[in-house]
Amino acid sequence: MTSQDNEQVIRSVCRVCHGGCGVLVSVRDGKVVKVKGDPESPMSKGWMCIKGMSSTEIANHPDRLLKPLRRDGERGSGKWKSISWDEALNDISHLLDKFRQESGPESIALGQGTGRHHYMRVVRFANQLGTPNWYEPGLAQCFIPRITVSNLTYGGFVVGDYYGEVSPKCIVFWGHNPLVSGPDGEIIALVRRALAQGALGIAIDPRRSETAKRCKIWLPIRPGTDAALALAMINVIINENIYDKEFVEKWTTGFEELKVHVASYTPQWAEGITWVKSSDIIEAARTYALNKPAVLEWGMAIEQTPNSLQTVRAIAILRSLTGNIDIPGGDILGMNIIRGYPTLKEKLSEDALKKRLGAGQYKLLGGWRAFMPSAHIPALFNAMRSGEPYRVRALLIFGGNPLTTVANSREVYESLKKLDLLVVTDLFMTPTAAIADYILPAAFWTEVEQLIGYPLVAENMVMAQQKINQTGECRQDEWIMDELSKRMGLPGSNETLHDVMNYQLEPLGITYQELKERSFVHPAHEYRKYEKNGFRTPSRKVELYCRALERMGYDPLPTYKEPPESPLQTPELAKEFPYVLTTGSRRMEFFHSEHRQIPSLRKRRPDPQVELHPEIAALHGITQGDWVIVSSPRGSIRMKALVTTDIIPGVINIDHGWWFPEKTGPDYGVWESNANILTNNAPPYDPAFGSYQLRGLLCRIEKETV
């Protein structure tokens, strides 16, 4: 910390996105006045993206919520009364106590957003309350399939090794665009460096994304068909004998079964399904297998499908066949240097476990083998709406905007309207907050104390976020949950935020206070950890054939299933909706539904965008910048056309997360350009995770007529 003219510079970690970039924050008179990349950060080395660079604008934005608000009229009337924290917390805790007594703890649900600093605190709060019902809009659609499959297949979570002495020779970007969406396991600057150092890139993406543009090979795939492509690549690597024989023999189980299983999944078979030329599939498989060390980056495009388990499994197997696990410059197993968060899961009763919505069916989402057991989103919102199998009466959301980020926004709206209590904690007013009973003002990342294990889930290093300033009466989410727990006398409510952080840091022999002084701890990476004790799977090997899955009633070897709504599966519907729709490709300027009110970011991307190929645009008389109506069997939205050859002709790509803070509430334009009006939350879901389909649906487009 340095001081000059009343200005202090304090080291912390940016969390405008999932976070991870080291930052030097300048504060003057209690206000953040400047942020700058920290050159000493071992991860980001001084780099920051434009969202992070806008932190000053976000922190000091005039629309920040500054005080707790209680509804003072009908829901959504826009009438609010400022109340004290004491009043808000007393009211809410009394209501929660009442619901628990009248309808059981499961009638209270908790919601949150993606990868925030308080993520695990929400899980703990659910366990303290005794409710099995919490959710986050990612989960089955984001990360849980990758983490779970990684654990089942290799006994741990893997991330690309951009951090050591050896740079990867090849990087596969599978439904992942880290040059825009990082950090999501990696940091943009490090991926860019690896590519600049000569790594051969292979992008598997229906769009020639920012990352695909830097790749040697682009496989333009039909959305939703990734498992077929992965199976064909396995087929090529085995048939051409270019797999890592020593690794496969010594460290895997089930190779012979896999070989037989994939024999019919030829590149020619996959071409008909994926629209990728078989010669390109063969070239990609060879390039990946023959250029070691290689990283295989997987994004959440492979999870937003009702075949998420088997898609992710097929891709996971590619890493094992090529022996790219836990080697320098390959995909490395996490070191998990800090202790797991004390979620108090032991406090959840047997009865509560049985009542977790959707858990009986989606065993890897909500059952005992699940990585982080949660409720199935469609089942939870259905219970709010219909009272089946029991009524969910209250929802407390800590940083989420489900009206824009959960599939089928209209049903989400109907569900939220049925609640007896909706509490939303956020930095800003949102369309979801606008229909709440209470709104609580959340602290921004410069106002928060927390640990950040990096990369998320792998936790190869740990950094300290520190409280630098205070805005209005904003409070860190953890504080709110701590205060509610204390008022309700819940188990674990005597443990403070610092107690929890110190417990997590214990294996490193330091406290949070000491970590703050050091900024980070980053031990040297230990490669090939499996050579000591084997992999952390039942066979101590990589499980190409997964018996655990078989025992749960799921296919032990990966399979392909056509998406339930697609040109091949529903050809009649495809006559009316002839294009394949994909949603949500990340944009540099925004984090999901956030930042539309931040002038410097919005200026760069003022309108919601649809990407389509010139051939399709011509068919519909659409030209660059026209407003276009995109429709699916669920509804229609308007978007501005970006006509580009960087997308497959038959595919339409739309932004997600759009609403318009500048418009009037309570809707703030959420029914105009919101991708989730078009998406589907109906079955079939992935049989293990319950994932629904956000990519690879059907749509049509037309020019808007005024």
Ligand X SMILES: Nc1nc2c(c(=O)[nH]1)N[C@H]1C(S)=C(S)[C@@H](COP(=O)(O)OP(=O)(O)OC[C@H]3O[C@@H](n4cnc5c(=O)[nH]c(N)nc54)[C@H](O)[C@@H]3O)O[C@H]1N2
- Residues contacting residue 516 through CB under 8 Å, at least 6 positions apart: 464, 466
CB of 6 to ligand X, least distance (A): 28
CB of 499 to ligand X, least distance (A): 21
Measured at the CA of 258, the angle between CA 256 and CA 262, to 5 degrees, comes to 125
Name the residue nearer to ligand SF4 (CB basis): 191 or 397: 191
Q: Which of residues 26-65 bind ligand SF4 (CB under 6 A)?
A: 48-49, 51-52
Work out what residue 14 binds among Mo ion, ligand X, ligand SF4, none; the CB cut-off runs from 5 to 8 Å by kind: ligand SF4
Do 573 and 697 contact (CB within 8 A), yes or no?
A: no
Which residues sit opposite 397 in a β-bridge?
A: 111, 424
* Residues 371-410, mask of contacts with ligand X (x by CB under 6 A): ---------------------------xxxx---x-----
Work out what residue 477 binds among ligand SF4, ligand X, Mo ion, none; the CB cut-off runs from 5 to 8 Å by kind: ligand X
* Residues 462-501, mask of contacts with ligand X (x by CB under 6 A): ---------------x------------------------
Terminal Cα-to-Cα distance of the chain (whole angstroms): 57
**Where does this chain touch ligand SF4 (CB under 6 A) — which range of 15-23, 84-92, 94-102, 484-492?**
15-23
CA distances from 611 to 37, 412, 624, 653, 700 (A): 33, 26, 10, 5, 13
Q: Is there binding between residue 597 and ligand X (CB under 6 A)? A: no
Name the residue nearer to ligand X (CB basis): 343 or 409: 409
CB of 6 to ligand SF4, least distance (A): 26
Residue nearest to ligand X (CB): 584
Q: Parallel, antiparallel, or unpaired: how do β-strands 627-632 and 635-643 relate?
A: antiparallel
- Phi, psi angles (nearest 5°) of residue 395: -135, 125
Q: Parallel, antiparallel, or unpaired: how do β-strands 69-71 and 31-37 relate?
A: unpaired
Among 661, 644, 576, smallest CA distance to 610 is for: 644
Q: Which of residues 190-209 bind ligand X (CB under 6 A)?
A: 204-207, 209
Name the residue nearer to ligand SF4 (CB basis): 17 or 505: 17
Distance of alpha carbon 506 from alpha carbon 522, whole angstroms: 15
Name the residue nearer to ligand X (CB basis): 252 or 582: 582
Name the residue nearer to ligand X (CB basis): 251 or 413: 413
* Residues 150-189, mask of contacts with ligand SF4 (x by CB under 6 A): ---------------------------------x------
The count of residues in the chain is: 706
Distance of alpha carbon 292 from alpha carbon 328, whole angstroms: 10
Among 78, 529, 153, 516, smallest CA distance to 328 is for: 529
- Residues contacting residue 19 through CB under 8 Å, at least 6 positions apart: 13, 115, 117, 183, 445, 452, 465
CB of 135 to ligand X, least distance (A): 10
Residue nearest to ligand SF4 (CB): 52
Q: Is there binding between residue 522 and ligand X (CB under 6 A)? A: no
Among 527, 526, 503, 525, smallest CA distance to 515 is for: 503
Q: Is there binding between residue 176 and ligand X (CB under 6 A)? A: yes
Do 475 and 441 contact (CB within 8 A), yes or no?
A: yes
Residues that bind ligand SF4 (CB under 6 A): 14, 16-17, 19-21, 48-49, 51-52, 183
Residues that bind ligand X (CB under 6 A): 17, 113-114, 116, 137-138, 141-142, 174-178, 180-181, 184, 204-207, 209, 221, 223-224, 226, 299-301, 398-401, 405, 425-428, 430, 442, 477, 582-588, 590-594, 653, 656-657, 675-676, 679, 694-696
